[in-house]
């Protein structure tokens, strides 16, 4: 009676869609207002079962038939991608062997589920055009008796796809409660065959026969804002974090998108707005592809979490904030995100919002410094003249006519302004960590092209992957799409990306983290995704303190020396000191000989040992000016030259004069011998002579000592 009264008193126009479940002494019910049943977002109350995210296992998907293994039912997942070639074991859909209306794709939800909608997509292929135009839906609890989805007295025939890429949502006229659901194609593209990718929307229900209380899926205990944030909501959340922790946070913008949306960064530091001597700079970048949204939400959650835990006195977070200057850019491509956000998590597809508003893929929009480096290595005969760091950007790339996104230019300027030490670029659509060089030398797929810092990059990738709950799961698929079944920490072939650019143009080491198989996970998945990545995000930031750090100073004035070159023996990649002389060199544990050079100074070398603890080894350097540099500075100030410097300069001039005189004499002697031709001198016994060149160019014999024998010259 209580339930009945509640239904009667509600302001909603309730039809017979109330699901009532009695368990022990508790009664729960859900209301489905008829006014919203046909709304495009009505299905969002129930999350996806997880075909796209791989939450649904391969064994839970069956089919009436399939053409071959690569087109089996396990490939019928929303947004799954095929390889470059058709016909392998990693194709882009489930395709039935026969063309008739008896074909079906079946999903076992494993538990009693309230199915609310089906999302359909055609075959992912650049060579074939296959999609289902209309289909039916049936449900069952035993796979023997199937109940069709009805609209009053007629079986519903749902509208399917009109192309192979755009996802289409079909909302069931009435939610169906069952364990199994089938998709039964009725018509398909006339020049193609029956192929589809799918996702099922449904809410898991408690088992009425279970004597134990039903428990929801485990999520997280952290009280964070777990939902998708559009541009305005993102800005509002960042502002609320700043207001909650004003002493350790600062919001700033590095530029604007093509459509004028600001690229906001949250800075977290015990002294925000200022680079502190000896404190490393760290950055996370997310949302380079606007439809890969998990990184965006993780960074928003991360700034919330750090603020909360810092206020609680969590010593790990307090130490991180006090010893590191952290920069979080949650959305590098806000224009693309807004496009994907309007479609929603399941309907954005694989590429909507990936590119900038101008149609530029920012992941392949950075200057190609790799080719410049490799060409120089091949052409230069004297390897000592080669540079191995701070490669300049080509002039054509910086021109206004160059096809470079405004967002890319803003990030490059940001890189050049702040002396970042470590970074990660957060993506989605796969589960893998990649590191430089992403671009392969010969553009060959899977070609391993290591950097001189290969061992440290591998450590960075392993640190993130091994602490990620999903990546480290030994029972999961090697990779989401099974296109590139390599280790989770190996680099992959790519073109001019941010990883390589950061390594070759700045001091900063950077990896790319592919966070999830699902580019745009449902909001209900965000708490567990936070739990999957929280430790990885924190422990990766802590790696900025591994290696050596120090300050390069002038021995006389104690002033910091900017742009000093820090060289580590046996690692052919140098870094440079920041504007106030401090530097950070990421290194694995071990003993290293480190040499520092700077223009106008004598070089200095010392041994530095890196320990296994999470704190850097201090290696400070004091450099002595060369006499020439001292003279330049004195003359520039209009001062007098000290006597010790005058003496030193005189000694250097005399030494240089002697060296140049010897060189001139050798050249004259060589010239005279060439003019005279071969000469044979027969010297008398018991005498030893020197052959000398006089000041007027004459050849003279000088007796120096006596000995036994005859000398022929």
Q: Which residues are catalytic?
A: 514
Length of the chain (residues): 713
Structure-token pair, residue 493: 């072939």
d(CA 713, CA 708): 16
Structure-token pair, residue 556: 């006389």
Structure-token pair, residue 437: 């060089």
CA-CA-CA-CA torsion sign (665, 670, 676, 681): positive
Q: Which of 506, 543, 489 is nearest to 367 (CA)?
A: 506
Strand partners, 27: 22
Q: In what order do the strands lie in the sheet with 281-286?
A: 249-256, 262-268, 325-329, 281-286, 420-427, 509-514, 432-434
Q: Which of 420, 415, 404, 163 is nearest to 280 (CA)?
A: 420
**DSSP calls for 267-290:** EE-SSTTSPPTT--EEEEEE-SST
558: alpha, beta or left, given left = phi > 0 and alpha = psi -120 to 50? Answer: left
Q: What is the DSSP letter of 633?
A: H
Strand positions, DSSP E, 598-643: 604-610, 617-618, 621-623
437 cis-preceded (ω within 30 degrees of 0):
yes
CB 299 within 8 A of CB 306: no
Burial (CB count within 10 angstroms: exposed 0-12, middle 13-18, buried 19+), residue 246: exposed
d(CA 439, CA 462): 20
CB 21 within 8 A of CB 38: no
| 309, HSE (Cβ side, Cα atoms, 13 Å) | 20
Q: Which of 451, 276, 458 is nearest to 373 (CA)?
A: 451
Structure-token pair, residue 410: 């803003």
**DSSP calls for 40-72:** TTGGGGS-B-STTTT-S-GGGEEES--SSGGGS
> Mapping DSSP to helix (H, G, I), strand (E, B) and coil, where does residue 135 land?
strand
Instruction: Residue 61: count other Cβ atoms within 10 Å of its Cβ.
Output: 20
The residue whose two tokens read 């977002």 is: 41
> Mapping DSSP to helix (H, G, I), strand (E, B) and coil, where does residue 339 land?
helix
Q: Which of 271, 502, 174 is nearest to 370 (CA)?
A: 502
């Amino acid at each position: 009676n209580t339930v009945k009264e509640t239904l009667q008193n509600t302001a909603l126009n309730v039809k017979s869609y109330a699901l009532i479940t009695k368990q022990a002494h508790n009664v729960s019910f859900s209301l489905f207002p008829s006014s919203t049943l046909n709304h495009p977002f009505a299905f969002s109350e129930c999350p996806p079962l997880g075909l796209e995210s791989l939450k649904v296992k391969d064994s839970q998907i069956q089919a009436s038939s399939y053409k071959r293994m690569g087109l089996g039912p396990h490939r019928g997942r929303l947004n799954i991608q095929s390889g470059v070639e058709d016909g392998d074991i990693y194709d882009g859909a489930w395709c039935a062997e026969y063309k008739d209306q008896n074909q079906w794709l079946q999903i076992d939800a494993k538990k009693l589920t309230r199915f609310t909608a089906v999302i359909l997509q055609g075959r992912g292929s650049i060579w074939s055009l296959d999609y289902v135009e209309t289909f039916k839906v049936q449900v069952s609890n035993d796979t023997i008796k199937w109940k069709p989805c009805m609209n009053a007295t007629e079986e519903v025939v749902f509208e399917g796809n009109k192309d192979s890429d755009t996802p289409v949502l079909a909302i069931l006229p009435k939610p169906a409660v069952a364990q199994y659901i089938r998709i039964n194609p009725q018509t398909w593209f006339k020049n193609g065959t029956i192929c589809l990718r799918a996702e099922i929307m449904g809410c898991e229900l408690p088992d009425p026969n279970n004597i134990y209380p039903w428990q929801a899926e485990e999520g997280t205990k952290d009280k964070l804002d777990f939902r998708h944030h559009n541009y305005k909501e993102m800005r509002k959340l960042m502002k609320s974090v700043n207001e909650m922790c004003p002493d350790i946070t600062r919001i700033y913008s590095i530029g604007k998108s093509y459509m004028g949306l600001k690229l906001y960064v949250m800075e977290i530091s015990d002294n925000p707005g200022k680079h502190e001597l000896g404190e490393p700079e760290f950055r996370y970048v997310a949302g380079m592809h606007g439809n890969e949204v998990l990184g965006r939400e993780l960074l928003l959650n991360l700034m919330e979490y750090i603020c909360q835990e810092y206020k609680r006195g969590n010593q790990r977070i307090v130490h991180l904030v006090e010893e590191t200057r952290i920069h979080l850019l949650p959305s590098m491509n806000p224009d693309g995100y807004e496009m994907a956000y309007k479609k929603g998590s399941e309907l954005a597809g694989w590429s909507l919002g990936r590119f900038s508003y101008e149609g530029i893929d920012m992941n392949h929009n950075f200057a190609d410094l790799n080719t410049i480096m490799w060409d120089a290595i091949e052409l230069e005969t004297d390897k000592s003249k080669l540079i191995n760091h701070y490669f300049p950007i080509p002039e054509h790339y910086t021109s206004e006519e160059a096809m470079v996104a405004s967002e890319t230019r803003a990030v490059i300027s940001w890189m050049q302004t702040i002396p970042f030490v470590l970074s990660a670029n957060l993506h989605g659509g796969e589960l893998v960590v990649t590191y430089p060089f992403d671009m392969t030398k010969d553009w060959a797929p899977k070609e391993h092209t290591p950097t001189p810092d290969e061992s440290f990059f591998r450590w960075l990738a392993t640190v993130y992957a091994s602490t990620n709950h999903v990546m480290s799961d030994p029972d999961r698929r090697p990779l989401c799409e099974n296109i590139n079944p390599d280790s989770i920490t190996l680099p992959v072939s790519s073109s001019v990306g941010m990883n390589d650019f950061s390594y070759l143009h700045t001091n900063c080491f950077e990896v790319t983290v592919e966070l999830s198989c699902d580019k745009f996970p449902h909001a209900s998945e965000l708490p567990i995704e936070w739990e999957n990545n929280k430790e990885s995000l924190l422990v990766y930031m802590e790696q900025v303190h591994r290696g050596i750090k120090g300050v390069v100073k002038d021995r006389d004035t104690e002033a910091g020396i900017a742009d000093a070159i820090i060289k580590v023996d046996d690692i052919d990649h140098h870094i440079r000191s920041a504007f106030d002389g401090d530097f950070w060199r990421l290194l694995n544990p071990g003993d290293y000989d480190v040499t520092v050079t700077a223009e106008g100074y004598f070089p200095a070398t010392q041994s530095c040992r890196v320990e296994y603890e999470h704190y850097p080894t201090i290696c400070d350097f004091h450099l002595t000016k060369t006499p020439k540099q001292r003279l330049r500075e004195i003359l520039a100030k209009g001062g007098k030259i000290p006597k010790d410097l005058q003496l030193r300069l005189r000694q250097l001039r005399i030494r240089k004069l002697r060296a140049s005189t010897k060189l001139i004499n050798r050249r004259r002697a060589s010239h005279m011998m060439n003019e005279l031709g071969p000469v044979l001198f027969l010297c008398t016994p018991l005498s030893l002579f020197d052959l000398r060149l006089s000041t007027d160019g004459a050849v003279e014999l000088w007796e120096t000592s006596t000995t036994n024998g005859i000398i022929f010259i």
